[in-house]
Amino acid sequence: MLKRVLLLVTLIVLIPWAVLAGNAGPKGKFTHVAGQDFRFDGKTVEIVEFMSFYCDHCYEFEKSIPAIKGNFPKKVNLKIMPIHWGQGSPKPAEAYFLAVDAGKGDAMKKAIFHAHFVEKRDIGSVAVLDSIAAKIGMGFDFGRKLRSGVKSKEVDAALRLAQVYGVEETPTLVIAGNIATTPHATDHDMAAFKENVLTIIRSILKG
C-alpha cells in the first residue's frame, strides 16, 4: 500500500513537469507573428527568408546557410523571398525567380551577391543580370523574359507577403509559420544570429 501511495505521489509530481516541458515552446530570440499559426509536421521545419540582394546582412547571412542546412540534413526547408526597399530595383529578384524555375536559384543568388558586393556591379541593370545568367548556364531566352517582366507578379507577391508578416528589415526569417527573427535580435552580430537560428530550429525539432 505504501509503495502504491509513493508511486502515485511521484506521478503527480512528474506529470506537471512533463506537461510544462511539452509546452515550453521554441527557444531563442524571436517574436511571434500576429495572426499566423505555428506549423510543424514533426519532420521538417519550414523557413521563409525575406532578403534583399542589396542588403549586406543578407550577404553575410548567406555564408551561414550551409551550416544551418548541414546541422539538420533534410529537416530544413528554406524558401527565399527576395524583396527590395526604396529605390532598389526589382530586377535581381525577377532574375532569381527565373533561375529557380530553371533549377539554378542558389547559383543565381550567389552570383548576384558576388556581382554586387565583390565586383561592385549594378545588379539593377538587365545587361549585368544577363551576363550573370550566361555564366551560370541559364537559357538564351533569359534576357527576353527578364526584360518582359514575366516574374514581376511573383516579386509583387513576395512584397505583399512581407507586409503580411510585418517585415521591417532584412534578412527576416519566419520559422515554422509564426516565429520571426532578425539580426536585430542579436544586435546585428551575424555570428550570434546564426547561432540563434540554430537554437530555434533545434528546439522545434526536439519538441
Write out pLDDT tens, residues 37-68. 999 999 999 999 999 999 999 999 999 999 99
pLDDT of residue 160 exceeding 90, the answer is yes
Q: Whole-angstrom Cα distance, residue 125 to residue 65?
A: 27
Q: Does residue 156 lie within any of the structural domains?
A: no
Least Cα distance to 169 among 60, 68, 49, 76 occurs for 49
The one-character DSSP state at 48 is E
| 207 in the same domain as 111 | no
Domain boundary among the residues 150, 180, 199 is at: 150
The angle that helices 105-113 and 91-101 make with each other, rounded to 10 degrees, is: 150
Domain count of the chain?
2
pTM to 2 decimal places: 0.87
pLDDT for position 24: 65
Q: Does residue 50 lie within any of the structural domains?
A: yes
Find the domain containing 195 and state its range: 25-83+167-207
Confidence at 207, pLDDT banded by 50, 70, 90: confident
| 53 in the same domain as 99 | no
| 140 in the same domain as 116 | yes
Instruction: Give first-to-last CA distance, the chain, whole Å.
Output: 37
| 97 in the same domain as 61 | no
Q: Does residue 31 lie within any of the structural domains?
A: yes
Q: What pairs with residue 100 in β-bridges? A: none
What is the Cβ-side half-sphere exposure of residue 147, based on CA atoms within 13 angstroms? 9
Q: Does residue 11 lie within any of the structural domains?
A: no
Q: Are 38 and 154 in contact (CB under 8 A)?
A: no
pLDDT for position 23: 46
User: 3-state class of 21 per DSSP?
Assistant: helix
Q: Does residue 202 lie within any of the structural domains?
A: yes
Residue type, 61: F
| 172 in the same domain as 142 | no
